[in-house]
A = this chain, B = another copy of it.
Amino acid sequence: MSSVTSGAPAAGSTRVRGADLLRLSTLFVRTLREDPADAEVASHKLLVRAGYIRRAAPGIYTWLPLGLRVLRKVEDVVREEMAAAGAQEVHFPALLPKEPYEATGRWTEYGPNIFRLKDRKEADYLLAPTHEEMFTLLVKDLYSSYKDLPLTIYQIQTKYRDEARPRAGLIRGREFVMKDAYSFDTTDEGLERSYEAQRAAYRRIFDRLGLEYVIVAATSGAMGGSRSEEFLTPTAIGEDTFVRSPGGYAANVEAVVTPVPEDVDYADAPAAHVEDTPDTPTIESLVALANARFPRPDRAWTAADTLKNVVLALTHPDGRREVVVVGLPGDREVDLKRVGAAFEPAEVEPATDADFAAHPELVKGYIGPQVLGPNARREAPADATVAEGEVPERHSVRYLLDPRVVAGTRWITGANEPGKHVFDLVAERDFAADGTVEAAEVRAGDPAPDGSGPLELARGIEIGHIFALGRKYAQALGLTVLDENGKQVVVTMGSYGIGVTRVLAALAEANHDDAGLAWPAHVAPAHVHVLATGKDASVFEEAERLATELTARGVEVVYDDRPKVSPGVKFKDAELLGVPLLLVVGRGLADGVVEVRPRAGESVQVPVADAVEHVAARVAELLG
């Protein structure tokens, strides 16, 4: 007697008992030939058609046996690499009381993005979208000394977000599985080490999953903190746009910081002058009229010479609505995601007619800086009827500029009267702003902020996000420990998320063709799909024997044992399900051969006597 069973002893024996021999005659699955009506992306269509998931409500899915098997395998990879990185697994409730989230301000900041409810005693609860507060409180509860740290703990858990627009199946859901880890250190250097350890674990996880990824600089958003990076998997259907430069810069567009040009000397600039510009409510019409009626001697006017003032409405977490104006060069559009990130936690949308009606100084199509921000506050208009010293409420609209609008730049912009624009309006000399904002779209060819060359744009799905949170949560919730000198120090934290269900969807996006899914072997619901084709009893007997022997060897098998289903349907189903290796037992059996065919690749004939050995070896190779 020298060895004993470990951890999950009977799981292995269940497999040997045949738990991993999935017979299609009894497996709880139905394949669909048609795409579901609400599906737009391949992963969503195919996961539903192949019987991996079913929709239960908008953005809320049920896992069928095949889908659950893949999900568990993805979770296992995450779990193993978390353990290897020294992170310990815990498990928090999803239903949480309001108080900790109130202490950090997030109860309000999340606005309508979280599910809230009351219990029978009218106490407020939420369904947690992320658990910083609870992890912080737990560590506070258990630990008190620097000797207890560093610590990284994590969970794999069901999370909730009340998305305004759940979409793309598992990619943007309202109930989803996350791995969230949290690190606790006493020093900044410690946090840096913990952050790097998680970052390295993420690289190993996505490498093992065979998922291409880019690590990009990101904004911290509602999470707070000093540094944050996203792991994106590049795909045309991604919701996130990111940029890369030849010199290695990479960032989420929300995080791209516009390089600020040098100030321009405006000593020789002519005075600003208002001109009649009838019927020029758009940049295009304004540029055309300027070139026709006020031509420049050196070159034609372009949209880049105009200063466009875009009116936006913010909804703050407390429900307050605020109208703001963003000024940017007329050849750039406002990027709502960038401006959204810039104004977080407020939500941003274009101003409505009602917003304009509340601000009569904003003349649609002819808005200029003079009525905005500090300019309006500096010069009260002649018709102001307010008492001296009082700032008229209607002139309090905040004015924020694109970072390119530096001192000395000259602009054509609205003169705040219909049909009039002002020319040679010089920044700093003629107008100021309340600050700058990263609101303008990033364009291919824009310079990287670190000087590493022109940017290219691509789309991706966010599969991981890591944050060096710093002391925000520990401070808010009073997590301190005694240091070497017996002094209380505030703990510094990191938070590290992987969207587990989203990773599964990303794997489906990256591994499919028109016929169906095509899983990498280590996350596939099984390793081999055995098809018995034809009506001959001997075919089924042989297929049964092969399936059983493979299972006994530890190979996970889907066996299509359905007696009255045509070979055509069986092949179509096999392609749709996406198991990496097909073993076809059919006519060839008369000649003593079976066919082994990778989901994508060339098929070979193998003598039936060698089939188990051959398939087991190929599976081992695939699992590599």
Contact = CB atoms under 8 A, between A and B. Distances in A.
Interface of A: 1-15, 17, 19-20, 26-30, 51, 54, 56-57, 60-65, 68, 71-73, 76-77, 79-80, 83-84, 86, 88-97, 112, 115-117, 119-120, 125, 127, 134, 138, 141-143, 151, 153, 158, 160, 162, 164, 174-175, 522, 527, 553-556, 613, 616-617, 619-620, 623
Which secondary structure dominates where chain A touches chain B? mixed
Contact of A14 (B15, B80, B134): B80
B56 A96 contact: yes
Contact of A4 (B54, B95, B553): B553
A3 B158 contact: no
A60 B96 CA distance: 8
Contacts of A27: 88
A117 B119 CA distance: 10
B95 A60 contact: yes
B556 A134 contact: no
B10 A76 contact: yes
Contacts of A555: 4, 6
B76 A91 contact: no
A497 to B, nearest CB: 18
Contacts of A5: 554, 620, 623
Given A6-B12, A62-B93, A63-B92, 9 more contacts: A3-B553, A4-B623, A7-B15, A17-B83, A27-B88, A54-B138, A62-B134, A94-B158, A95-B175
Contacts of A141: 54
A619 B4 contact: yes
12 contacts: A1-B613, A4-B623, A7-B15, A11-B79, A14-B80, A56-B93, A62-B138, A63-B92, A93-B175, A117-B117, A120-B162, A158-B158
Contacts of A29: 142
Contact of A77 (B10, B83, B92): B10
Contact of A84 (B9, B17, B613): B17
Contacts of A623: 4-5, 9
A193 to B, nearest CB: 15
Nearest to A6: B554
Nearest to A27: B88
B62 A91 contact: yes
B95 A174 contact: yes
A556 B11 contact: no
| Interface hub of A8, A11, A620 (most chain B Cβ within 10 A) | A8
B11 A613 contact: no
Contacts of A19: 80, 83
A151 to B, nearest CB: 6
A555 B8 CA distance: 11
